[in-house]
């Protein structure tokens, strides 16, 4: 399988050959947390821009230039309205919630706080209440951030 990893299934491989097997799943969970923490930050930044009189599209452009990747993808989904209009999620909020709950368990084992994970979990719960369970994309967090700050859930691109 190794020949199909680098350059085929992904950009590179991070080997866990010399690590305890449990570290690989912990690593994946912590890696997923990077994305799960970025999504509420993107939603809050777009909402703050709108409430401050700055066009959210300008924040997206800044994200495209400065940060790329996940910031570009998720800000684009949020601003296009795809976060709440898409019939099938790119990234299921249901699965993200499961990951955050596992992450919070790992947090307990490590005896530390994960405030971003708690924030994301709160927003995900609100998003799940609004829509049909497994059909919610994680980017629907944007609507909840908007609503919590006095704007309509749905943005009209």
Domains of the chain: 22-148 (1.10.1040.10)
- Measured CA to CA, the distance from residue 155 to residue 157 in angstroms comes to 6
Q: How far is CA 140 from CA 38, 60, 107, in A?
A: 13, 16, 25
Residues sharing a CB contact under 8 Å with residue 67, sequence separation 6 or more, in sequence order: none
Record the tokens describing residue 24, joined without a space: 């690989």
Rg of the Cα trace of the chain? 17
| Dihedral of the alpha carbons of 67, 138, 36, 144, in degrees to the nearest 10 | 90
pTM: 0.86
Q: Above 60 in pLDDT, residue 133?
A: no
* Per-residue pLDDT tens over the stretch 93-121: 889 989 999 999 999 999 999 999 999 99
* Per-residue pLDDT tens over the stretch 35-61: 999 999 999 999 999 999 999 999 999
* Per-residue pLDDT tens over the stretch 3-32: 888 889 888 988 888 999 889 999 999 999
Instruction: Using DSSP, state whether 1 is helix, strand or coil.
Output: coil
Asked if 96 and 127 count as a contact pair (C-beta separation under 8 A), the reply is no
| pLDDT for the residue numbered 131 | 66
């Amino acid at each position: 399988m190794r020949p199909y990893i680098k350059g085929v299934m992904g950009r590179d491989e991070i080997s866990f050959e010399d690590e305890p097997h449990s570290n690989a799943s912990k690593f994946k969970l912590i890696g997923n947390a990077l994305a799960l923490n970025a999504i509420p930050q993107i939603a809050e930044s777009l909402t703050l821009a709108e409430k401050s009189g700055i066009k959210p599209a300008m924040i997206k452009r800044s994200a495209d230039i400065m940060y790329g990747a996940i910031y570009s993808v998720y800000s684009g989904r949020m601003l296009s309205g795809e976060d709440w209009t898409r019939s099938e999620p790119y990234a299921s909020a249901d699965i993200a919630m499961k990951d955050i709950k596992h992450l919070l368990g790992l947090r307990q084992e490590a005896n530390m706080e994960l405030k971003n994970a708690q924030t994301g979990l709160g927003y995900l719960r609100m998003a799940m209440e609004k829509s049909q369970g497994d059909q919610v994309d994680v980017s629907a967090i944007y609507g909840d951030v908007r609503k919590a700050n006095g704007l309509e859930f749905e943005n009209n691109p």
